[in-house]
Amino acid sequence: MNTKTMKAFTFKRYGKSPELGFDNIDYPSIGPDEILVKVYAVGLNPIDNMIPTGIFKPVLHFKLPATLGSDLSGIVIATGSRVTSFKPGDEIFASIFDRGTGSLAEFAVVPESLAGIKPANIDFVQAASLPMVSLSAWQALTERACLKSGQKVFIPAGSGGIGSFAIQLAKHLGAKVGTTTSSVNVEWVSRLGADEVVDYKKQEFENVLSGYDIVLGTVRGDTIEKSTHILKPGGKIISLIGPLDAAFARERHLNIFLRTVFGLMSRKIIRLAKKRSQTYSFLFVRPDGAQLTQISMLVEAEHVLPVIDKVFPFAESKHALDYLAGGHARGKVVVKIQD
């Protein structure tokens, strides 16, 4: 019987009092297609604060108490019997989002197919910042939008974790990029590659921008609805933050009740888009080691680079999540597990 334990940052229940904190949990064991990773750093994402509220309970299934976090970087210390891509000592990065387990722990189990070799030109902290934002941007722009060189893409909140990466990727793919940010970050997001930058404290983006082919939904509130005004007929809105739609419910094989609920949640934006001959869809990021390998090559070639706002020690994981929840991070927030 495995009695060895490790330290992890967990939540114990859903709701307003999730009891976030450190726990000693069972040391993980691996299956034949998995690798055991000593975690060096964990990149935080807004969904890490949302999961304990229970908002994603119908979709993401955790056995409580559950470890938070999904992005990680670290060193492989053991491999399953069928693993061929990795060996002990390899430096990797991965997302284990949607696996029912988390990464804010001393060790993590990662399916072989979800990991990529860490880019050689960056450290563990930088590598941990990449998985979810890079995969979200990659899947939205290359798979869902089929972005072509010369097209115009609107990526609001350009100084945030997803925005700062998506701007770089869109520029690398040959797009013209529009974004919003506060006065203090206007010059900075321009240096990242944004062609049109709207200071949201001074102007409404829908009064300034026009002729866009794609909108990447990264901001809650009415930004997605307003973005129909800047899209061309035939344009696509791809949202990473909702509202969820019936197509997503079908893809997840959810029951008829949830399909109906999600259909109602997205009905207004779908109707608005349709009226202008545009389309709306919700994108739920999918962990993918092969895509991380392609992203790693872009990082090593310096076509895209990680953007870090603040690094917290493991002991301050709660402060890190609170800081991220404040919504003013310029780039990513990362928790450093090991030196």
Give the residue extent of every domain in the chain.
5-129+307-336, 132-282
The phi and psi torsions of 309 (rounded to 5 degrees) equal -90, -55
Distances (CA, A) of 131 to 116, 118, 203, 223: 10, 11, 33, 25
pLDDT for residue 3 is more than 80: no
For residue 163, give the nearest of 295, 328, 336 by alpha carbon.
328
**Rounded Cα gap, residues 23 and 21, in angstroms:** 7
Say which CATH topology domain 132-282 has.
Rossmann fold (3.40.50)
More confident call, 142 vs 58: 142
Chain-centroid distance of CA 18 in Å reads 22
For 215, phi and psi rounded to 5 degrees?
A: -120, 130
**Nearest residue to 137 via CA among 186, 172, 112, 101:** 172
Maximum average pLDDT range among 14-18, 104-108, 257-261? 104-108
Neighbouring C-beta atoms of residue 234, cutoff 10 Å: 10
Under CATH, what is the fold of the domain 5-129+307-336? Quinone Oxidoreductase; Chain A, domain 1 (3.90.180)
- In this structure, the number of other CB atoms found within 10 A of the CB of residue 295 comes to 25
* pLDDT tens digits for range 41-52: 999 999 999 999
Tokens of 148: 């072509």
What is the chain's length?
A: 339
At residue 1 the predicted structure's pLDDT band, cuts being 50, 70 and 90, is very low
Other CB atoms within 10 A of residue 7 CB? 16
Query: 132-282: same fold as 5-129+307-336?
Result: no
